[in-house]
Amino acid sequence: MVQDLYAPSLQHALDVAGIFVFAISGALLAVRKNFDVFGIAVLAEVTALGGGIFRDLMIGAVPPAAFTDLGYFLTPLVVTVLVFFLHPEVERLQLGVNIFDAAGLGLFCVTGAVKAYAYGLGLTASAVLGLATAVGGGVLRDVLANEVPSLLRWDRDLYAVPAVVGATLVVLFIDHGMLNGATATLAVVTVFILRLLAMRYHWRAPRAWNRRSEVAEREEG
């Protein structure tokens, strides 16, 4: 089957690692927002699992994997406990968290696109759901925390764009009969490197040409 790119045990370990890192970003935002322990757990779960749940519901893979694999559901709760007691230490490791988050972004956009295609979607729709898998949890996290989603803000380093590139690579590989473990890994690594470069050099998407925004001008001033 097309989504069986890696050995099941390796795929599961990679998924749990990605869930763990995504959950950290949700839990840390909850701490910054002064949420209680339940709020921390909710943001950790939503950030880590929201994109995958959305994808599975869209393609009819029900119940979603997040509810059939106990490890997927429990991992954000483990993160909740760690962040609840050790959030100052976790904050100091933010650079490392961002690096692993970039790896998770690459993994999730690739596996999301592959799974969507395996369930019968076309190439374009599969790429879109690959993107949704990677960034959907972060969007839900920001909405619940009453924040403008990070991927919509001009003052944030590129995040969605690397995922778009990765998902596009996957569907191109599928279209040319080249998708395998090696090419899927290449797509993951491409997303990872693009995200790291965006963080290092503060790459940002362009805004509207000749814009006239008082809000933006006040923010810049």
> Is a pLDDT exceeding 90 seen at residue 221?
no
State residue 101's pLDDT score.
Answer: 95
Cα separations in angstroms, 207 against 28, 117, 174, 204, 210? 29, 32, 32, 9, 9
pLDDT band at 207 (very low <50, low <70, confident <90, very high): confident
Class of residue 82 by CB neighbours under 10 A (exposed 0-12, middle 13-18, buried 19+): middle
Q: By C-alpha distance, which of 97, 129, 100 is closest to 192? A: 100
Q: By C-alpha distance, which of 19, 74, 24 is closest to 49? A: 19
123, two tokens = 């190439």
Condensed to tens digits (0 to 9), the pLDDT of residues 48-100 reads 999 999 999 999 999 999 999 999 999 999 999 999 999 999 989 888 999 99
d(CA 175, CA 191): 19
Condensed to tens digits (0 to 9), the pLDDT of residues 102-148 reads 999 999 999 999 999 999 999 999 999 999 999 999 999 999 999 99
Which of 188-192, 204-208, 214-218 is predicted least confidently? 214-218
Condensed to tens digits (0 to 9), the pLDDT of residues 146-203 reads 999 998 888 899 999 999 999 999 999 999 999 999 999 999 999 999 999 999 999 9
> Is a pLDDT exceeding 90 seen at residue 40?
yes
d(CA 28, CA 18): 16
Q: By C-alpha distance, which of 203, 117, 123, 99 is closest to 161? A: 203
Angle at 12 between CA 8 and CA 14, to 5 degrees: 120
DSSP tag of 152: G
Condensed to tens digits (0 to 9), the pLDDT of residues 87-107 reads 999 989 888 999 999 999 999
Cα separations in angstroms, 171 against 26, 116, 158, 161? 29, 10, 21, 16
Q: By C-alpha distance, which of 202, 21, 146 is closest to 94? A: 21
State residue 213's pLDDT score.
Answer: 59
pLDDT band at 1 (very low <50, low <70, confident <90, very high): very low
37, two tokens = 């322990």
> Is a pLDDT exceeding 60 seen at residue 220?
no
pLDDT band at 210 (very low <50, low <70, confident <90, very high): confident
Cβ neighbours, 10 Å, residue 55: 29
Q: What is the dihedral of CA 141, 139, 155, 101, to 10 degrees?
A: 80
State residue 209's pLDDT score.
Answer: 83
